[in-house]
Structure 1
Amino acid sequence: MNKTWIVALETYLRQVKSWSFVILVVSPFLMLAVSLGVGYMSATSGSNTDKIAVISNNPALRKQFISTNKDDISQKVTTTNTAKRKVADDKLAGYLQLSVTNQQVSARYYSKESMDSSLKLSVENFLNKNQQALNVQNAKLSSGQMKSLSQQPIFKQHIKQSSSSNDIVKIASFWILVFVIYMVLITYSSVTAQEIASEKGTKIMEIIFSSTKASKYFIGKITGVMMVILTQILVYIIGGYVFYEILRRISTFRKVFDQYQSLIKPIIGNLLNVNLVYLFLGVIIYTIVSAFSGALVAKPEDAPKAAQPAIYLGMLAFFLTFPFQSNATGLVVKILSYVPFFSSYFMPLRIINNEAGALEISLSLLVLVLTIVLFAWYISRIYEGLILQTDDSSFWKRLKRGLSYQS
């Protein structure tokens, strides 16, 4: 067992230290950062044209209004003349004059266009709140009367998500999940197949097999790759969470998050549940197929071709999901959600559409896990016979000879 873990650790460290792994992990975040940066700059470059200035002879009143409307206010403009000039030059949407005269709060807005409806509502609420405070102060009411006036009404929203919103959530969740599974699967199928194939016919393999069993070596290889895949998934989850929290704190993006929160949260929920387990296990079973294919090539020069069987099988499963993205109740979907190599695509489709119960999910996972274990165990038993074949015979002869080998 120690030798198995040594192989696993060596495989893991070699993979995570490679530039290809670093680029693979970092590139999505770089692309996201660049696209968001461009969006942020384009949004903020003309942001002042959507903002207003607040002018007031009462600094406390101005400060109070700005504190509740920071995203809509250009705080640097403090005088009427400056505000007029910037409005004329189209550098401000307008300016708001706040004042308190004869115990009455007033606001006057100057602009070329009407005030935005949401900001207008905010101004009206602000005026009502401050006017009420002045009225209460001038009325000199008792504590009991003050308590009665401070009583607030109750308003609660009970929102049932529309079917169109549900459809958007389901479709978006499906495409994100399927695309991630496919991309990670293709990547690790190629990496694993080429790594195994590159060892073909080397003397070092004979030396390794003289000190440890080929089965332990193979299991160690697969375990190491599993650790690499798990590392990448964890990096994506943690990195995605960090990006999410950063964007929520940037005013330019916070509005978008607030507006589409009813869509964003369900999509994230569909990704960070049992579907993540299907992603991991789906990549593992295709990785084992790739290792098997890599061990069957005739010589190391054929390594680029080694991943083709796993890639073609993955492509078949990937494209087979297209006709059923809106038909999670179909008989084909139900059958394939229990079939290894296909269940990682089709059971998440059913889960996203709430068409699979806990028992069905458990049974599907059990079949998938057992297939992975048995498949890995069987290949580990014949691995020595596969990897040590060096003759340039046909693929079927090498396959037949390898399957008939007994360690």
Structure 2
Amino acid sequence: MHKFWVVMSQVYKKNAKSGSWIFLVLSPLLFLAIGFGIAFYIAKTQAPAQVAVVSDVSAVSQALSKQNNDDLHFKVYSSSKKADAALNDEKVDGILTVNAKDQFRSRYVSRDNGQEVDKTTLVTALSGLKLSSTAASMHLTAAQVSALTQPPMVSTKTVAIENGKQVTKSNSTQLMNHGVAVVAMILILMVTMVYGSILAQEIATEKGSRIMEILLSSVSATTQFFGKLAGIFALLLTQLAIYVVAGVISWQFVKNQSFVSGVLKQFDFSILVSGTTAMIVVFFIIGTLTYSVLAALTGSLVSNQEQVQQAAMPISMLGLIGYFITIAAQSSDSALAQITSYVPFLNVFVMPTQMSLGRASMGEAWISVAISLVFLVLFTMFTVKVYRNNVLVYSGSGLWQSMKTSFSIWKSERSVAKK
């Protein structure tokens, strides 16, 4: 067990100190910081539009000035001449002239280099005043006005068909689950490609430098295999932990920003503790482990570091196939999506999306998980044997020839064992 931890720590320390891994970890944080900084700057520097109001009824101008918000400010002017002077001095972005005695007929003049004001916003503000004025002239009570203006109530709900029955689903829950599934899909794709390449390069580098002969004299190939796998996985966990810590620290600074709170109010984050989200995390872990084992397999089949791209090609192809099937599954529940929801390597992409869209039940997800776990165990056992047989093969003939060589060695070992 001590040798396992030595191999794991060596792999972990070597990659954690590399500039490529440090850049891999810091670049997303840097891009997010730049994006947030730009959004923060825009939110702070974008002042509300200033609109001068001139009306033949002073009460109307005063009423409009009470409807100021973060996007629009009304400024009362006693005459059109003063409003024009303010516009010429670029103190206001436009002039709203309201003729309250003539059915609130209005005219808006905007400055071409000023902030744009949506016509709908002005119409909405004037409509409320016109309604109040008309109700007063007709001697309507407040209750009567409220009854006339009260819109009809329409309740909505979203249902999913599970086992032939309607099951109520929350719109926000479905949206968030779908978002989590998409994020998990992208994370799995990135992790498999990046860390798969790192693991394959780790193995290919040792083979290319012919250091394996020395290593195998003190550490078995099986221990090296699982040690490297654990070291790369620990590297991934370190990256995720850094993001969690950075997110917690950043949250203390951004949670009180108005534009951030405005966006967050539209989502119900309590559903992040739902069963669907937990299942997505399970598929993320299984997918990461499965593709890592595949990377170790392909990495052991190459002879030197120059062939690492060949080792990474099967990982990239499988990942992209799963990605494109998932994209297609978002628009329709095709037979391909239903089948690949149970196919190892592909189900880690497709099944989370199927669940988030209400097309797969929790029971079906567990069946997919069981298939993936059985496959992961068998595939790992197979990869360990290939790794052990092929770790000292330097044929240099590519993946296919290396696989044939490894198979020949395996057959020879079986023949010897039978004798």
Q: Normalising to structure 1: TM-score of the pair?
A: 0.67
Equivalent pair of 2:177/2:277 in contact (CA under 8 Å): no
Equivalent pair of 1:201/1:388 in contact (CA under 8 Å): no
Runs of 5+ in structure 1 lacking a partner? 52-68, 75-83, 94-111, 122-156
- Distance of 2:395 and 2:3 partners within structure 1: 29
- Distance of 1:235 and 1:213 partners within structure 2: 33
- Distance of 1:226 and 1:159 partners within structure 2: 48
Runs of 5+ in structure 2 lacking a partner? 52-67, 74-82, 95-109, 111-116, 129-152, 160-170, 414-419
TM-superposed CA distance for 1:48, in Å, is 5.8
The corresponding residue for 2:370 is 366
The corresponding residue for 2:213 is 206
TM-superposed CA distance for 1:345, in Å, is 0.7
Mapping of 1:34-113 within 5 angstroms?
Answer: 34-47=34-47, 49=49, 90=91
What letter matches 1:28 in structure 2? P
* 323 and 72 in structure 1: CA distance in 2 versus 1, 3 angstrom threshold: closer
Does residue 390 (structure 1) correspond to residue 397 (structure 2)? The answer is: no
- Distance of 2:50 and 2:264 partners within structure 1: 19
TM-superposed CA distance for 1:348, in Å, is 0.5
What letter matches 2:327 in structure 1? F
Residue 233 of structure 2 is aligned with which of 226, 238, 242?
226
Residue 193 of structure 1 is aligned with which of 191, 200, 205?
200
What letter matches 1:378 in structure 2? F
Superposition RMSD on alpha carbons, in Å?
3.9
* 45 and 15 in structure 1: CA distance in 2 versus 1, 3 angstrom threshold: same
Equivalent pair of 1:43/1:252 in contact (CA under 8 Å): yes
What letter matches 1:181 in structure 2? I
Mapping of 1:115-264 within 5 angstroms?
Answer: 168-169=175-176, 171-244=178-251, 246-258=253-265, 260-262=266-268
Equivalent pair of 1:174/1:325 in contact (CA under 8 Å): no
- Distance of 2:262 and 2:50 partners within structure 1: 14
* 331 and 395 in structure 1: CA distance in 2 versus 1, 3 angstrom threshold: closer
- Distance of 2:405 and 2:242 partners within structure 1: 41
Per-residue CA deviations over 1:312-358 (Å, capped at 9, x if unaligned) read: 12111211222211334x44333322221011011101221233333
The count of corresponding residues between Structure 1 and Structure 2 is: 325
Equivalent pair of 1:317/1:342 in contact (CA under 8 Å): yes
| SS of residue in 2 equivalent to 1:405 | helix
What letter matches 2:42 in structure 1? S
TM-superposed CA distance for 1:373, in Å, is 2.5
The corresponding residue for 1:299 is 304
Q: Normalising to structure 2: TM-score of the pair?
A: 0.66
What letter matches 1:247 in structure 2? V
Identity of aligned residues (%): 28
Equivalent pair of 2:195/2:292 in contact (CA under 8 Å): yes
Equivalent pair of 1:318/1:345 in contact (CA under 8 Å): yes
* 218 and 116 in structure 1: CA distance in 2 versus 1, 3 angstrom threshold: farther
Does residue 277 (structure 1) correspond to residue 285 (structure 2)? The answer is: no
The corresponding residue for 1:378 is 382
* 333 and 394 in structure 1: CA distance in 2 versus 1, 3 angstrom threshold: closer
Name which structure has the greater RCO, CA cutoff 8 Å, separation 6+. Answer: 1
| SS of residue in 1 equivalent to 2:281 | helix
